[in-house]
Amino acid sequence: MTVITFENVAYSYGGGELLTDVSLKLAPGSFHFLTGPSGAGKSTFLKLAYAELRPTSGRVTLFDNDVTKLSRDDIARTRRRIGIVHQDCKFLDHMSLAANMALPFTVSDRESSPQDMDDLLGWVGLKHLADALPPQLSGGERQRAALARAVIVDPDVILADEPTGNVDWEMSLRILTLLVELNKMGKTILVATHDLNLIRQAKAQIQARVLRIAKHRVQLAGADL
Amino acid sequence: MRLPTAKPASPATRALEVVPPSGPTAWLTTFTAGAMTFLCVFALALSLASGRLATRWSEALAKTATIRLSAPEEQVQIQTDAILTALASTPGIKSYRLIEDAETKQLLEPWFGPDLPVEALPIPRLIEVVEADPPYDAEGLKQRLTAEAPGAVLDDHTRWRRPLAEAAQRIRLLGVLSIALIGAAMAAMITLAARAALATNAEVIRVLRLVGAKDSYIARAFVRRFTLRALTGAAIGAAAGLVGVAALPAADAAGGFLTGLGFTGAGWLWPLALPPLAAIVAFLATRRAAFQKLRELT
Ligand SMILES: Nc1ncnc2c1ncn2[C@@H]1O[C@H](COP(=O)(O)OP(=O)(O)OP(=O)(O)O)[C@@H](O)[C@H]1O
Ligand SMILES: [Mg+2]
């Protein structure tokens, strides 16, 4: 089984093709970085990988299901197996941080165990902010909260879009450590970033592969980082 | 810090909480539903009253016309025979019947007591006429009676009652149409309100989809809210309408149209059906709007 498969995928927002002829497979338990200049299509690639966008041609397969054949409810169910850290960490601003983190449970009419929630808040270092509203959080706190929300339902895959986008180096390392820990627990990880230092740091800790978007294509980068 | 481990909110309550409170515009839906239901109570009262009136008048139509004969004693039998002969040869009459003196006495008994000496009183002879379809020509019959039995008077009430019964039926139809229009207008207004709420909360919906919410879950939050608002508003509107109708002067024995406007017997149950109906309308309208809107998002 592969977790995510792209076969000759192309995507266009209406103008020329942003991504062309993308073919790749993400195996279970793998750790990938996705890099490329701003506007290259990293977020677009991730959106294809969690079925927010459908390919204009080619085929995207999630957990061996062709996304074009998934109903809206199937997509909702598939997303419960994918933890998504959105580039702008979307939250429900009227609900507390704790309630936001429990949201993936709430929307599937399941209960989150208070113990798990407590552990998770401790893990991302946000215990003291459980009752805060999202607009009151700093950029780094939001990103850690988004990561915590992505992993709360114990997903098989984590797709993180610039998870260290607006935090200092020290905080970037903490977030990277969290991702590496998740990978060691067997989760498949894909991180979009243009922070090459972060990639180098990760490669020192685990076996990570790097995908680079250049000239509308996604290629596996060599060891030349 | 421990998270509150107290009794967690039920899933249904939490479905309401994921959509932010809608603030001061929320009461507009309640108000609209209330006003519409208030109007609907009166449309209903109008329909039911005109329905009753139409039925009463139509029944009267199916009944008879009466010929009254008042003549000097020696003329009575002669003129009676003349009338019966005339009726026998008039087309458009289904049947006719001479009302015997005994029966007349019975009819008068409640007013004058059992010992009424009918013979001694100038009580008119009565002949009941049942019209056929098509009916007889009343004007023609009147003229013929004037010629052959000058003491006879044709008391023909069907002529003026028929247009009234027809009018009452029309009014009932208009009432029913008004109720349908009020329902449709409420559906339209709730659809607009729901669409506005969905548009305002597009970002919330996007977040919910991102964390794996199904359309039905998201729709539920909106549908519940609007259904409850419509139900509340309609309950208030129906109550106010009922008070208004109850405050109208009671229908008197004369059964005039205006004083008859109201509910009788089981008719009082009709307005009670309005709040649930309004809730159903709101439920369907919001649900439709929600699924339409959701299909635009991924
Ligand atoms: N909804 C959209 N409609 C039209 N064009 C879009 C849309 N979203 C993105 N684009 C365009 O597609 C291109 C790629 O966008 P994308 O967000 O995937 O880039 P990115 O690699 O994630 O950039 P960054 O590193 O700045 O986040 C950009 O040129 C952007 O303007
Ligand atoms: Mg991006």
Is B211 in contact with A79 (Cβ distance < 8 A)? yes
| pLDDT in the model for residue A114 | 79
Where is pLDDT greater, at A161 or B251? A161
Q: What is the dihedral of CA B217, B218, B222, B225, to 10 degrees?
A: 40
Helices A196-205, A169-184: axis angle to 10 degrees equals: 40
Question: Does the pLDDT at position B58 exceed 80?
Answer: no
Unique residue bearing structure tokens 């635009």: B296
Where is pLDDT greater, at B131 or A131? A131
Question: Does the pLDDT at position B172 exceed 80?
Answer: yes
Question: Is residue A70 within 8 angstroms of chain B, CB to CB?
Answer: no
| pLDDT in the model for residue B142 | 85
- The ligand placed nearest to the CA atom of residue A42 is 1
| pLDDT in the model for residue B97 | 85
| pLDDT in the model for residue B14 | 61
Is B210 in contact with A73 (Cβ distance < 8 A)? no
Q: How far is B187 from chain A (nearest CA, A)?
A: 27
In one-letter notation, the amino acid at residue A33 is F
Task: Report the residue from B203, B208, B298 with minimal CB separation from A107.
Answer: B208
Check: CB of residue A127 under 8 Å from CB of residue A121: yes
Question: Does the pLDDT at position B66 exceed 50?
Answer: yes
Is B18 in contact with A95 (Cβ distance < 8 A)? yes
For residue range A34-57, list pLDDT tens digits in order: 999 999 999 999 999 999 999 999
Is B294 in contact with A72 (Cβ distance < 8 A)? yes
Task: Report the residue from B1, B208, B214 with minimal CB separation from A73.
Answer: B214
For residue range A126-156, list pLDDT tens digits in order: 989 989 999 999 888 898 899 999 988 889 9
Of all protein residues, the one whose alpha carbon is nearest to atom 9 of ligand 1 is: A44
CA Rg value for chain A: 17
For residue range B110-124, list pLDDT tens digits in order: 667 777 666 667 778
Unique residue bearing structure tokens 């429900």: A92
| pLDDT in the model for residue B61 | 63
User: Nearest 5°: CA angle at A67, between A189 and A12?
Assistant: 85
The torsion angles phi and psi of A223, rounded to 5 degrees, stand at -90, 15
A39 C-alpha to ligand 1 centroid (Å) = 5
Question: Does the pLDDT at position B55 exceed 50?
Answer: yes
CATH number 3.40.50.300 given to A4-91+159-220: yes
Question: Could you tell me the pTM of the whole model?
Answer: 0.74
- The kind and range of the H/E element at A169 are helix A169-184
Mutation target among B200, B211, B215 for the A interface, most CBs of A within 10 A: B211
Question: Is residue A52 within 8 angstroms of chain B, CB to CB?
Answer: yes
| pLDDT in the model for residue B250 | 63
**Cis (ω within 30 of 0) for the bond into B134?**
yes
Check: CB of residue B52 under 8 Å from CB of residue B262: no
Inter-CA distances, A201 with A170, A176, A177, A205, A210, Å: 12, 9, 10, 7, 13
Rounded Cα gap, residues A18 and A142, in angstroms? 29
**Given pLDDT bands bounded at 50, 70 and 90, which one contains residue B76?**
confident
Is B212 in contact with A104 (Cβ distance < 8 A)? yes
Task: Report the residue from B20, B208, B210 with minimal CB separation from A84.
Answer: B210
Q: Which residues of B touch A149 (CB under 8 A)?
A: 211
Task: Report the residue from A94, A106, A127 with minimal CB separation from B14.
Answer: A106
Q: How far is B211 from chain A (nearest CA, A)?
A: 5
Question: Does the pLDDT at position B3 exceed 50?
Answer: no
Q: What ipTM describes this predicted complex?
A: 0.88
Check: CB of residue A6 under 8 Å from CB of residue A22: yes
| pLDDT in the model for residue A223 | 57
- Percent of chain B beyond pLDDT 90? 26
Ordered by start, the domain boundaries in chain B are 11-51+171-296, 71-150
Please choose, from the candidates A166, A172, A176, A214, the residue with its C-alpha nearest in 3D space to the C-alpha of residue A34: A214
| pLDDT in the model for residue B2 | 41
Q: Which of A92-106, A112-126, B180-194, B254-268 has the lowest mean pLDDT?
A: B254-268
In one-letter notation, the amino acid at residue A148 is A
- The ligand placed nearest to the CA atom of residue A216 is 1
| pLDDT in the model for residue A56 | 93
Inter-CA distances, A62 with A65, A177, A189, Å: 5, 26, 14
- The ligand placed nearest to the CA atom of residue A35 is 1
Is A79 in contact with B210 (Cβ distance < 8 A)? yes
* pLDDT in single tens digits along all 225 residues of chain A: 788 999 999 999 988 889 999 999 999 999 999 999 999 999 999 999 999 999 999 999 999 899 999 999 999 999 999 999 988 888 999 999 999 998 998 888 777 777 888 888 888 889 899 899 999 998 888 988 999 999 888 899 999 999 988 788 888 898 899 899 999 999 999 999 988 899 999 988 888 899 999 889 998 886 545
Q: How many residues does chain A have?
A: 225
| pLDDT in the model for residue B260 | 67
A14 C-alpha to ligand 1 centroid (Å) = 12
Question: Does the pLDDT at position B4 exceed 50?
Answer: no
Question: In 3-state terms, what secondary structure has residue B195?
Answer: helix
- Percent of chain B beyond pLDDT 70? 84
A22 C-alpha to ligand 1 centroid (Å) = 17
Mean pLDDT of all residues belonging to chain B: 82
**Given pLDDT bands bounded at 50, 70 and 90, which one contains residue B6?**
very low
A45 C-alpha to ligand 1 centroid (Å) = 10
**Residues whose beta carbon lies within 6 Å of some atom of ligand 1:** A 13, 18, 36, 38-44, 87, 194
| pLDDT in the model for residue A176 | 92
- Residues of B within an 8 Å Cβ radius of A: 1-5, 8, 11, 14, 17-18, 20-21, 203-204, 206-217, 294-295, 298
Inter-CA distances, A223 with A33, A193, B207, Å: 13, 17, 37
